[in-house]
Amino acid sequence: MEKLNQVYEGKAKKVFATDDPELFIVSYKDDATAFNGLKKGTISGKGVVNNKMSNYLMQILEKNGVPTHFVEELSDRETLVKKVSIVPLEVIIRNVSAGSFAKNYGVEEGITFPEPTIEFSYKNDDLGDPLINSYHAFALGLATKEEINTIKTMAFKVNDVLKEYFKNLGVKLIDFKLEFGRLSDGSIVLADEISPDTCRFWDINTNEKLDKDRFRRDLGGVEDAYNEMMKRVFGE
Ligand code: TMP
């Protein structure tokens, strides 16, 4: 597999073409941003943690019937993935109130919902990723109705699998963001990453935050939190 030119650089990852037109290589950086890029920093070792954790979780999801972009881990920071065109939706599942949910609706963080919620943001940095509903997504031509239904079903399935998986590691899965992509045949797969950048993880006993909120909120111990999650998933 030959790595060719860079085709995209995002806030946390670079994407490269390969000599196979159906495959890309993603390369995870240590760069961290928050609030639509307003806050910038570096989380040392984050790229390695996110690459390895995301790959591991995607393989668990594949085994549970969720198709993903994952093909093969190439190194600590690089992974071979199926080429997708990203559906420009951030799909957020919540089990417990936190973050923008708590802020927007005036409730405290930490309230467990009777059942998980789903919401969409329009992935558009210029607009600040505004919250939209599935009718808006269809009206804007971001996805077909069938794709939106597939995405909803897959997102709740991801939640069922990961909630149970993390519970066994002593971690509460509070909420998370997913992105989906279309393969060349039009089918929908889970893409992007699943990591402490894109999930809220709270220790089951102490409620200690083990995710990017430590960076967003200047809580300190950012690297320690990523390393702790790495340890819970992979052991020592
Ligand atoms: P929120 O409460 O700020 O809306 O975040 C919900 C979840 O989505 C949380 O686990 C963090 C994740 N997230 C991202 O992955 N990228 C983003 O740009 C934002 C705003 C949140």
> Which CATH number fits the domain that encloses residue 16?
3.30.200.20
Which of 60, 82, 104 is at the close of a domain? 82
Q: How close is the Cα of 201 to the center of ligand 1, in Å?
A: 12
Query: Contact, 155 vs 189, CB < 8 A?
Result: no
CA-CA distance, 92 to 132, in Å (whole number)? 11
**Burial class of residue 225 (count of CB atoms within 10 Å of its CB; 0-12, 13-18, 19+):** buried
What integer pLDDT is reported at residue 36 of this predicted model?
94
Q: Which domain holds residue 130?
A: 85-234
Q: Whose CA is nearest to atom 20 of ligand 1?
A: 35
Residues with CB under 6 A from ligand 1: 92, 98-101, 175-177, 198-200
What integer pLDDT is reported at residue 236 of this predicted model?
72
Residue 102 and residue 219 in one domain: yes
CA-CA distance, 86 to 180, in Å (whole number)? 6
Residue 180 and residue 225 in one domain: yes
Number of helices followed by number of strands (H, E) in the chain: 6, 14
Which amino acid belongs to residue 74? L
Give the number of domains in the chain: 2
Which of 28, 55, 82 is at the close of a domain? 82
Residue 78 and residue 114 in one domain: no
What integer pLDDT is reported at residue 1 of this predicted model?
85
What integer pLDDT is reported at residue 226 of this predicted model?
98
The beta-carbon contacts of 58-65 under 8 Å, at least 24 apart in sequence, are: 58/190, 58/194, 60/161, 60/162, 60/165, 61/158, 61/161, 61/162, 61/190, 64/157, 64/161, 65/157
Residue 13 and residue 100 in one domain: no
What integer pLDDT is reported at residue 41 of this predicted model?
98
Atom of ligand 1 nearest to the CA of 34: 18
Which amino acid belongs to residue 179? E
**Ordered mean pLDDT values, 10 residues apiece, the chain (236 residues):** 96 98 98 97 98 98 99 98 98 99 98 98 97 98 98 99 98 99 98 98 98 98 98 93
What integer pLDDT is reported at residue 99 of this predicted model?
98
pTM of the entire structure? 0.98
Angle at which helices 46-63 and 222-234 cross, to 10°: 30
Residue 3 CA, distance from chain mean position? 24
